[in-house]
Structure 1
Amino acid sequence: MSGYCDSAPGHPLHGPYHDEEYGFLQRDEPVLFERLLLEINQAGLSWETMLRKREGFRRAYDGFEVDKVAAYGETDRTRLLADAGIIRNRLKVDAAIHNAGVIRGLRDSHGGFAAWLDAHVMDGDTRRDKAGWVKLFKRTFRFTGGEITGEFLMSLGYLPGAHREDCPVFERTVAAGAPWSLPARVPAPL
């Protein structure tokens, strides 16, 4: 992502995202759901398109409130598919509704989406790599291939690569607790 560290600063959309969000750990469920929804919808498009449509997505998907989106029915699907402020793709709309239901279920199984992510940082005794995350996401969510999953996790600090080490934002993401930068847990002795 070294090119992003060169081109984003000073850009009206990319600059603030690069400097304040990209690679930073997030805990709030609506923020995590927004990021997943935007990454899914970005497939085949530019990230700038997603940043331009971000407010449209926020309005269309009820501020990314998981319970509301999980309850969407056919009337909401029709409304979303007619909304020029978002990406009007049935597979992506259906994935958003389905994934909201999955995230709601993660509250019961893990205490929430953030806790689920934290619970899967390790794969046995080793830090989960991108391939392991992709496999897990494909089992859990819809429309989450390798690029979508990788970018989602990198954007939240679960995978490295959001910023070059010489980028001024790099150290801030580490200081903010990016999970990829934390020491791996050592198994307790028997």
Structure 2
Amino acid sequence: MSYCNYIPLMKEPGRSLHQNYHDHHYGFPIHDDNELFGRLILEINQAGLSWETILKKEEGFRKAYDNFNLKKVAAYTEKDRERLLADPGIIRNKLKVNAAIENAKVILQLQKEYGSFENWLEHHHPKTKEEWVKLFKKTFRFTGGEIVNEFLMSIGYLSGAHSESCPVHGEILKMKPMWLKK
């Protein structure tokens, strides 16, 4: 069952969270590197947990990680790591916290080489899910198959975010550049 069809079967308050994410975020292109980084942080933190848990904590993540500001997060110190591991507004997992900080540093390097994280993604598009997973595992920390798949679907680089009969699917297609419709 697709996400689109599953949401109506959910109970509140989770249903509203999922509906908002589905209607306004899931599968939509993101052109801001800080927001792309933020989505990657959220997807990494979802590993082993429900997406609803992450949606409920999104504002906590924004606050804890300086609104996903790449330069600030890449400069985090040991004191910042300790602060994050003590913050009940996020997922307090050392591997995930370390991945966020290290991945911010990697993205800054990609920006130097490609101009932006988005350009790096575009440079490698199109790829199969398996090719993307291999590339992400080589490039980033804490990026297994499901994390990479959901991250790329959530930003429109892999298909499957919405069923073709979903009205949001049509909206997203209108927004994508031609090369991304491949």
Fold equivalence (TM over 0.5)? yes
Matched, 1:113 2:117: yes
CA distance in 2, matches of 1:88, 1:76: 12
CA distance in 2, matches of 1:160, 1:4: 13
CA distance in 1, matches of 2:169, 2:177: 10
Q: Which runs of 5+ in 2 are unaligned?
A: none
1:8 match: secondary structure: helix
Q: Which residue of 2 aligns with 1:52?
A: 56
- How many angstroms does 1:153 deviate by? 0.1
1:131-186: CA deviation from partner (whole Å, max 9, x where unpaired) = 00000000100000000000000001000000000011111111110678524xxx
CA contact (8 A) 2:2 2:163 kept: no
Q: Which runs of 5+ in 1 are unaligned?
A: 122-126, 184-190
CA RMSD in angstroms comes to: 1.5
Match of 1:69 among 66, 73, 76: 73
Superposed counterparts of 1:33-48, under 5 Å: 33-48=37-52
- How many angstroms does 1:3 deviate by? 3.1
Q: Which residue of 2 aligns with 1:7?
A: 6
Q: Which residue of 1 aligns with 2:171?
A: 172
Seen in structure 2, the aligned counterparts of structure 1 residues 130 and 87 have a Cα distance that, compared at 3 Å, is: same
CA distance in 1, matches of 2:50, 2:78: 28
Matched, 1:100 2:104: yes
Superposed counterparts of 1:114-129, under 5 Å: 114-121=118-125, 127-129=126-128
Q: Which residue of 2 aligns with 1:18?
A: 22
2:26 match: secondary structure: coil
Q: Which residue of 2 aligns with 1:141?
A: 140
Give the residue type in structure 1 aligned to 2:137: K
1:63 match: secondary structure: helix
* TM-score, scaled relative to structure 2: 0.93
Give the residue type in structure 1 aligned to 2:110: L
CA distance in 2, matches of 1:133, 1:47: 22
Task: State the identity as a percent.
Answer: 59
Q: Which stretch shows the higher mean deviation, 171-180 or 156-165?
A: 171-180
Q: Which residue of 2 aligns with 1:29?
A: 33
CA distance in 2, matches of 1:34, 1:56: 12
CA distance in 2, matches of 1:4, 1:20: 14
CA distance in 2, matches of 1:151, 1:178: 20
Aligned residues: 177
Seen in structure 2, the aligned counterparts of structure 1 residues 156 and 115 have a Cα distance that, compared at 3 Å, is: same
Q: Which stretch shows the higher mean deviation, 32-41 or 169-178?
A: 169-178
2:150 match: secondary structure: helix
Seen in structure 2, the aligned counterparts of structure 1 residues 179 and 163 have a Cα distance that, compared at 3 Å, is: farther
